[in-house]
Amino acid sequence: MNLLAISSETWTITILGWLIVFAALLFLVGIFLLIPKIIKLATKRALHKKTRHVGSVPAEDEMMLTGEMNAAISMALYLYFDEIHDDESNIITIKEVKRRYSPWSSKLYGMNNMNFPR
Amino acid sequence: MNLLAISSETWTITILGWLIVFAALLFLVGIFLLIPKIIKLATKRALHKKTRHVGSVPAEDEMMLTGEMNAAISMALYLYFDEIHDDESNIITIKEVKRRYSPWSSKLYGMNNMNFPR
Amino acid sequence: MNLLAISSETWTITILGWLIVFAALLFLVGIFLLIPKIIKLATKRALHKKTRHVGSVPAEDEMMLTGEMNAAISMALYLYFDEIHDDESNIITIKEVKRRYSPWSSKLYGMNNMNFPR
Amino acid sequence: MLQKYKLPFLLFVLLFMGAGFNAFASAGVGTDIFEKALEGVEKFWNFTGFANAHFTNFIMIAVGLFFIFLAIRYDYEPLLLIPIGIGILIGNIPFPPGNKIGLYEEGSVLNYLYFGVQQGIYPPLIFLGIGAMTDFSSLISNPKLMILGAAAQVGIFATFWGASILGFAPAESGAIAIIGGADGPTAIFLSSKLAPHLMGAIAIAAYSYMALVPVIQPPIMRLLIPMEERKIKMKPPRAVSKLEKILFPIVGLLLTTFISPSALPLLGMLFFGNLLKESGVTERLADTARNSLINIVTILLGVTVGASTQAVRIVMDPNTGEMINKGFLSPDSMKIFALGAISFVVATAGGLIFARIMNLFLKGDKKINPLIGAAGVSAVPDSARVVQAEGLKCDPTNHLLMHAMAPNVSGVIGSAVAAGIMLAFLM
Amino acid sequence: MLQKYKLPFLLFVLLFMGAGFNAFASAGVGTDIFEKALEGVEKFWNFTGFANAHFTNFIMIAVGLFFIFLAIRYDYEPLLLIPIGIGILIGNIPFPPGNKIGLYEEGSVLNYLYFGVQQGIYPPLIFLGIGAMTDFSSLISNPKLMILGAAAQVGIFATFWGASILGFAPAESGAIAIIGGADGPTAIFLSSKLAPHLMGAIAIAAYSYMALVPVIQPPIMRLLIPMEERKIKMKPPRAVSKLEKILFPIVGLLLTTFISPSALPLLGMLFFGNLLKESGVTERLADTARNSLINIVTILLGVTVGASTQAVRIVMDPNTGEMINKGFLSPDSMKIFALGAISFVVATAGGLIFARIMNLFLKGDKKINPLIGAAGVSAVPDSARVVQAEGLKCDPTNHLLMHAMAPNVSGVIGSAVAAGIMLAFLM
Amino acid sequence: MLQKYKLPFLLFVLLFMGAGFNAFASAGVGTDIFEKALEGVEKFWNFTGFANAHFTNFIMIAVGLFFIFLAIRYDYEPLLLIPIGIGILIGNIPFPPGNKIGLYEEGSVLNYLYFGVQQGIYPPLIFLGIGAMTDFSSLISNPKLMILGAAAQVGIFATFWGASILGFAPAESGAIAIIGGADGPTAIFLSSKLAPHLMGAIAIAAYSYMALVPVIQPPIMRLLIPMEERKIKMKPPRAVSKLEKILFPIVGLLLTTFISPSALPLLGMLFFGNLLKESGVTERLADTARNSLINIVTILLGVTVGASTQAVRIVMDPNTGEMINKGFLSPDSMKIFALGAISFVVATAGGLIFARIMNLFLKGDKKINPLIGAAGVSAVPDSARVVQAEGLKCDPTNHLLMHAMAPNVSGVIGSAVAAGIMLAFLM
Ligand code: NA
Ligand code: NA
Ligand code: NA
């Protein structure tokens, strides 16, 4: 069996198809690498205005670390609960935890509260 | 543009249509002004029979006032909760409150218990 | 009116139909009288293996009695709750009760845990 | 600051509101406009329910109100009687034909919702939910009680015989007979296949008598079972293992549908639902099947079955070409109601008598309480509750409920098998 | 122990991954393959949204994003604006026609989901859920406030008149007019019957203005109601018995549908849902109707109504035979949006003015606060909340919410009756 | 007091029950009746499953039982395997053709429920629910992992190439290829468009291998990734803001569907569901989408896909006119199963190898653990769990789950895009 003895259209779809999938997701990657930078810029400006009133803000690096840990833990918890049962209740639990304990989310929700009145 | 230069059918629908909506809702108004009177009559008779056994019944006016306040409060609560979240849980809460605290509802549910065995 | 003056096909369906329903359910009865015996056989073998490691097992008769009572009670409870409200919550409650209190179910779940890893 | 716009705005609005009246007063000849208005009133009047009403509509509306009353006042099968009752009201609001309003007019909303009834799609979905909420433990623990569920199906075949005598065609008789099965979804499924034109009457009869089970059964029980036998106490059912519960729907599905493949939509879905429940790994699917899904289908099925009882329904006779009323209140409907009543009585009697016969072959503490035979008609779970209530009347310590559940659920299977048999012989 | 298979396996995989590139390099002439690849790229490019995009698509995408923004940022009717907004995005992704992608192409998934909109099936199901979640107590306790719900329907008939003047055909005018009813499901239901080709514009206009009620109504209120009247306090509504609550949907169903049988699908389902809620014996059905069922239908209705605003839609003109764009952004759509804005203003003004007129006939503590007239447009429950907010601005102790609920829910009934009247005259 | 009616009643019932037997004994010639009864028995026998069974039915029933066993015993994708497994049983109960029983017979209940599969309506609704339950945080926080989801799609295109070589037509090859995407809904959607006649085999293959992911992937992982690389620890993903989470579905929808408009039903619904979840203002819609709605559709899709594997299906050959068996157990089905197995292997290998290649360009603590490449095949969330399990085996402190979720969910997007590309080239 000659593996190459198929129509050239087949080859086109095989190679080109995969490349297009790559291109599409690379496009998405690019955009989503860009978005947080734009948001950061906007947030900084907003924070700048805010700090005049609020006073000291925790150093960003420190905050980020906490936020990261928090996200990692909550996602691990999420998947752990997901294994036990399949429904939604756990997600709500985790959301509550996130809101309650993370200084990062407090900052984030602060920002949201600024943009989203409710 | 002559605003009257449209077919007489348009005029008919415009005016008549609105009048019919009025008529329909006025009809409903009439019926629902009537219904409580009929119920009151029926209830009075039933209460009359009941009082022979049960003894004293709180004066109707006083009861009504309490019932009104209760209804007002519960509806206000209802809409307040409704703003917070959209689902049903609050309604149940209010229902419980109504059942628990109102002497009026106790009378009402008494009546219902008479008519509705469960 | 001659009650027999209908087509013989009607008679066929009337009599034969009922007999087939009987046959079908008798078939099921037979199978379900058989199944527990097969399971018991399999379980005994499994228990036999297990007891070497685990040690003493409560006498089967005693266990069965408890299991029966438990089943009877839970079914009664089930139908009792079913009369109060129509939804599912009660079933879960009963399931919990079953799991928690019955030595029989502990044996059963032991067996299941053997066959069903989760 | 908005106040300065107030006057012009008010003027504009009043202008508009007055314009119509001005038009009446000024435009053209005046009388012409008035005539047009009168014409309009007449046109609208001819469109209203008042103009199109027939006295039979009011009879049916009264029936619908009675259903709602029974459901709320006596709690008789409210999940069925409320949707059907309000459906009867909706189906009997008089309307001018040809405007896509009525259930039988193609393209109307009610007609689309009725599609699931007409094609027998709703009943299997309801059986899926019933399967997901039914605990077959009592039946698994004492399989021989299953036979009582077969015995009570005599109601079906007796009604088939009776309907044939009353002159119904064989397929019609088969559809009517299933009323004796005391299972609404099965009745709708079978009549959608065998006699769609009788479905309204069959469904209403089936659901009515199911709701009236607490009224119909007790006198027959007292007639056929002597007091001493009504007091028999039965051994508590043995406990059932999880494995048996899992095997039941699988084996049940294979056996019953091999015997009666036409019942596949009903029995397949019933046992599928039960496996979702008992497998222990598909709880979220079972939960949806026995809640959202069955509720949605119950709402749609109830209201459209109710609305299918339209009293006035003028259609052209395919033979003579004249317009005739094929509405609900026909002699056929009356016959179906009479047959339905008899079938419930015969089914109950069949279950009871067979239970007494079974006792001839059983000894000692294996004897069954013949009352539970009445639960074989199904009408789940009402007839099992009736058995419980009757049992308690004779001996306040004798709880028959758990025992009655076995013939009760096997009655569901029996009726579905019987429906399959009817389809095999008659379709 | 698997390591020994490693090398051959790796070789196989690399072989495959490399085969394609090898093929390019070796097979046949090489240039032929390269040409084919270029052809393939071109073919694919012609299939993408980039190749098929028209600037109007981007306008509509911007509109969709704006809807989503309004919903999330200002919480304006998010349950409607999010599905519709994302539907507008979905409907305006450019695609090559004839591949069963677009909503208007027969056999596409969107087309199947749109069926429930086109045939007016979704709106009655939404009304079922609304009935099952609406408490009519305030209306039952003070029936005369119901008239305000009729007064505000002037918006419908004013728009009918306006649309006729702007040159719309009578049936089209009727469909457009219903925007003034401020009820999305009613608007979709009526336009599905009277003017399916305008449904997208009508639905979008209706939902947009409903979402903007908190912006539209307050200025009109301040214009038409003097400050002293805005401060009027009303007696708390009397308590309502369970029996009255049960009778309301039954009586309401019979009366309104006898008057306006064409509104049967809407009003029948509305009152059916309310009976499920109030009967007290069908809570599980009511619960499903106001949760799963209404949510499912809302999702499907919202996304397909949004997607029906496809900007580019080339069809053959039935008369001339040439290909024309029947897309969303037409002069007709613009006119409909303008008429919609006017109808909301007139409806609000109608309710307010009528409330002031009613006050002329009422004495002492029976006088009503004219602000609640604005709630007669329905747009439940937003316009009632606007009344509450305006009332609080004038007197922070004056809670009008419970009073405003009466005209608010009667506005729903009034619009449905009006829709039935339009059908009676125009279909 | 009822006792006096006892005797006559009992007599009546016994009379009826005996009448049939009397009839046998007395009516007419007697032998004639007996012959009729025999005829009836024969007629019924010919209708049963026993009379219509073919040995292939039993093979398929065994397969269905095996699916159910896998689901309950090993907890492999029970939400899919239980409905499909019982569907296989239902589809292989033998029945006499022409009675509206089987899935492929027009007008049967199963056929109506199968409509949503045939027209590709169910898959987008499942994607809506998946969107509403998926947290894309890990992907947003580390977008470059998304590329792994693209790399694993090599399985799709490799299978396309393989299927072409095995002699399938291009459209058929495209439909078969999608098995390598490891997404059931995508596979069903694509095969409903490209090769409806192969849908059963494709769907069963896709779901079977998805369920077997914990068996298929580990050996490949061990083969292709050296131990030291399997131990690489990755930085925890950064926290993601609510705004990013809201923007993701909107931007994702616009970009991916502009590139691949044919995937609009799938990707549109996926991102719609995710926006319902993340917007924070439509929680009740998201809740219904990821519970009731997806459960209902999963039940219907699973059972009908299972039932579509009917082993015996006699149809007329359109060319020769002779009757041939188009049942499930054909050489084509076997080939599809073989191709499916290969495609899962190639997809996994593609993801793993690409992850190692990526590491060549990444430095220090930015290096990724190549195991997560295997999650790029999607099969959410099983393959991510397999990665986690394998990672723990090499280093019990290394939790890869959160990192594996990124390629896992991007694999879903990648497969949907690939499906759109297939449609663009082949439809
Ligand atoms: Na039955
Ligand atoms: Na309105
Ligand atoms: Na995938």
What are the structure tokens assigned to D193, written together? 């296949």
- Fill in the DSSP letter of residue D292: I
Chain F residue with Cα closest to C14: F20
| Secondary structure of residue F325 in the 3-state scheme | strand
For the stretch D3-60, pLDDT in tens is: 556 555 555 545 555 544 455 455 454 566 677 778 888 888 888 889 888 999 999 9
Highest mean pLDDT among A69-83, C71-85, F130-144: F130-144
Predicted confidence (pLDDT) at residue A61 exceeds the cutoff of 50: no
pLDDT of residue F345: 92
What is the rounded CA–CA span in Å between residue D80 and residue D211?
8
- Distance from the first to the final alpha carbon of chain E: 79
- Asked whether residue D15 is assigned to any structural domain, the reply reads no
pLDDT of residue F60: 95
Is F284 an interface residue toward B (CB < 8 Å)? yes
What is the rounded CA–CA span in Å between residue F345 and residue F365?
29
- Fill in the DSSP letter of residue C57: -
Ligand nearest to the CA of F156: 3
Looking at chain F, the whole-number percentage of residues with pLDDT higher than 90 is 47
- Asked whether residue E338 is assigned to any structural domain, the reply reads yes
Q: How many CA atoms lie within 13 A of A101 on its CB side?
A: 14
Produce one character per residue of F383-402: b if its CB has 16 or more CB atoms within 10 Å, e if not: bbbbbbebbeebeeebbbbb
pLDDT of residue D33: 67
Structure-token match 């709500």, residue found: A92
DSSP per-residue string spanning D68-80: HHHHHHH-SSHHH
Predicted confidence (pLDDT) at residue C88 exceeds the cutoff of 70: no
**What's the average model confidence in pLDDT over D323-347?**
90
State whether F254 and E2 contact (CB < 8 Å).
Answer: no
> For chain D, how many structural domains are there in total?
1
What is the rounded CA–CA span in Å between residue D188 and residue D178?
9
Task: Compute the distance from residue F365 Cα to the ligand 3 centre, in Å.
Answer: 28
- Fill in the DSSP letter of residue E364: G
Predicted confidence (pLDDT) at residue F299 exceeds the cutoff of 90: yes
What is the rounded CA–CA span in Å between residue D285 and residue F80?
10
Q: Which residue has the higher pLDDT, D166 or E22?
A: D166
Burial class of residue E361 (count of CB atoms within 10 Å of its CB; 0-12, 13-18, 19+): exposed
Which residues lie across from F324 on neighbouring strands?
F315
Closest CA to F255 of E61, E294, E6, D137: E61
Which of 9-28 (D) contact A at CB < 8 A? Answer: none
pLDDT of residue A57: 42
pLDDT of residue D379: 78
Closest CA to F71 of F57, F84, F89, F53: F84
What is the rounded CA–CA span in Å between residue D300 and residue E293?
11
CA D416 to chain centre: 15
pLDDT of residue A58: 42
Q: Are B21 and D30 in contact (CB under 8 A)?
A: no
pLDDT of residue B71: 47
**What's the average model confidence in pLDDT over E380-388?**
85
State whether E173 and B10 contact (CB < 8 Å).
Answer: yes
Looking at chain E, the whole-number percentage of residues with pLDDT higher than 90 is 46
What is the rounded CA–CA span in Å between residue F201 and residue F309?
7
Pairing of the two strands E314-316 and E323-325:
antiparallel
Predicted confidence (pLDDT) at residue F309 exceeds the cutoff of 60: yes
Mutate to test the interface with C, among F36, F42, F68, F74 (most CBs of C within 10 A): F36
**Run of H or E residues at D168:** none
Q: Which residue has the higher pLDDT, C55 or D154?
A: D154
**What's the average model confidence in pLDDT over E174-203?**
90
Predicted confidence (pLDDT) at residue A73 exceeds the cutoff of 80: no
Print the domain residue range for E101: 52-426
State whether D279 and F78 contact (CB < 8 Å).
Answer: yes
Enumerate residues with CB within 5 Å of ligand 1 (an ion): D 181-183, 378, 411, 415
pLDDT of residue E317: 81
* Whole-Å CA distances, E200 to E97, E112, E206, F427: 20, 16, 10, 29
Task: Compute the distance from residue A10 Cα to the ligand 3 centre, in Å.
Answer: 21
Q: At residue E99, what is the residue type?
A: N
Predicted confidence (pLDDT) at residue F330 exceeds the cutoff of 70: yes
Here the ipTM equals 0.82
How confident is residue C71, by pLDDT bands cut at 50, 70 and 90?
very low
Closest CA to F204 of F179, F186, F171, F223: F179
Q: Are D336 and D202 in contact (CB under 8 A)?
A: yes
**What's the average model confidence in pLDDT over D338-342?**
92
Enumerate residues with CB within 5 Å of ligand 2 (an ion): E 181-183, 378, 411, 415
Q: Are D129 and D297 in contact (CB under 8 A)?
A: yes
How confident is residue F175, by pLDDT bands cut at 50, 70 and 90?
very high
pLDDT of residue D75: 86
- Fill in the DSSP letter of residue B6: S
Mutate to test the interface with B, among F276, F279, F282, F284 (most CBs of B within 10 A): F284
- The least confident of C105-109, D349-353, E127-131, F259-263 is C105-109
pLDDT of residue B24: 87
What is the rounded CA–CA span in Å between residue B114 and residue B116?
6
Burial class of residue D416 (count of CB atoms within 10 Å of its CB; 0-12, 13-18, 19+): buried
For the stretch D245-283, pLDDT in tens is: 999 999 999 999 998 898 999 999 999 999 999 999 999
For the stretch D367-425, pLDDT in tens is: 899 999 999 988 777 888 889 888 888 888 888 888 888 898 889 899 999 999 998 88
Closest CA to F376 of F357, F397, F392, F396: F357
For the stretch E52-106, pLDDT in tens is: 889 999 999 999 999 999 999 988 889 989 999 999 999 999 998 888 889 999 9
Q: Are E287 and E106 in contact (CB under 8 A)?
A: no
What is the rounded CA–CA span in Å between residue E342 and residue E176?
12
What is the rounded CA–CA span in Å between residue F151 and residue F378?
11
Chain B hits for E248, CB-CB cut-off 8 Å, are: 32
For the stretch E11-56, pLDDT in tens is: 554 555 554 444 545 545 456 667 777 888 888 888 888 988 899 9
pLDDT of residue B111: 27
**pTM summary value:** 0.85
pLDDT of residue C103: 27
How confident is residue C66, by pLDDT bands cut at 50, 70 and 90?
very low
**Helical pair B89-101 and B60-84, crossing angle rounded to 10 deg:** 160
Chain E hits for C85, CB-CB cut-off 8 Å, are: 283
How confident is residue A81, by pLDDT bands cut at 50, 70 and 90?
very low
Supply φ then ψ for residue F52, to 5 degrees: -100, 0
| Secondary structure of residue D23 in the 3-state scheme | helix
DSSP per-residue string spanning C67-83: HHHHHHHHHHHHHHHHH
Strands (E), F223-317: 314-316
What is the rounded CA–CA span in Å between residue D415 and residue D407?
12
Supply φ then ψ for residue F324, to 5 degrees: -130, 160
pLDDT of residue D5: 60
- Asked whether residue F30 is assigned to any structural domain, the reply reads no
Closest CA to E289 of D208, D284, D88, D303: D303
- E349-352, long-range: CB within 8 Å, 24+ apart, which pairs? E349/D9, E349/D13, E349/E220, E349/E224, E350/D13, E350/D17, E350/E151, E350/E152, E350/E153, E350/E154, E350/E155, E350/E158, E350/E376, E351/E148, E351/E151, E351/E152, E351/E375, E351/E376, E351/E377, E351/E407, E352/E220, E352/E221, E352/E224, E352/E225
For the stretch E217-276, pLDDT in tens is: 999 999 999 988 888 888 887 888 889 899 999 999 999 999 889 899 999 999 999 999
Taking 70 as the pLDDT cut, the residues of chain B under it are 1-8, 47-118
For the stretch D301-314, pLDDT in tens is: 999 999 999 998 88
For the stretch F206-240, pLDDT in tens is: 988 888 888 899 999 999 999 888 888 888 878 88
Q: How many CB atoms lie within 10 A of CB E151?
A: 29
* Whole-Å CA distances, C98 to C67, D131, E294, F18: 9, 21, 37, 47
Q: Which residue has the higher pLDDT, D322 or D217?
A: D217
For the stretch D52-110, pLDDT in tens is: 889 999 999 999 999 999 999 988 889 989 999 999 999 999 998 888 889 999 999 99
Chain D hits for C21, CB-CB cut-off 8 Å, are: 150, 153, 414, 417-418, 421
pLDDT of residue E30: 53
Taking the domains of chain C in order of start, what are their residue ranges? 7-83
Chain E hits for D303, CB-CB cut-off 8 Å, are: 272
Task: Compute the distance from residue D196 Cα to the ligand 1 centre, in Å.
Answer: 21
Q: Is the dihedral of CA F297, F303, F306, F311 positive or negative?
A: negative
Q: Which residue has the higher pLDDT, F22 or F314?
A: F314
Whole-number average pLDDT of chain E: 87
Q: How many CB atoms lie within 10 A of CB E50?
A: 12
**What's the average model confidence in pLDDT over F352-364?**
89
Q: How large is the greatest C-alpha to C-alpha distance in chain C, in angstroms?
A: 77
Strands (E), D264-372: 314-316, 323-325
Rg of chain A over CA atoms, in angstroms? 23
pLDDT of residue E114: 94
Chain F hits for B88, CB-CB cut-off 8 Å, are: none
Taking CA E304 as the corner, what is the angle to CA E303 and CA E308, rounded to the nearest 5 degrees? Answer: 120
State whether D146 and C32 contact (CB < 8 Å).
Answer: yes
pLDDT of residue B94: 28
pLDDT of residue F248: 93
Chain E hits for F196, CB-CB cut-off 8 Å, are: none
How confident is residue D365, by pLDDT bands cut at 50, 70 and 90?
confident
Bond into B58 cis (ω within 30)? no
For the stretch F19-62, pLDDT in tens is: 544 554 554 545 666 777 788 888 888 888 898 899 999 999 99
Looking at chain A, the whole-number percentage of residues with pLDDT higher than 70 is 32
Predicted confidence (pLDDT) at residue A80 exceeds the cutoff of 50: no
Q: Which of D52, D86, D291 has its CB closest to that of E288?
A: D291
Produce one character per residue of D116-130: b if its CB has 16 or more CB atoms within 10 Å, e if not: bbebbbbbbbbbbbb
Is F255 an interface residue toward A (CB < 8 Å)? yes
Closest CA to F404 of F148, F185, F209, F140: F148
Predicted confidence (pLDDT) at residue F305 exceeds the cutoff of 70: yes
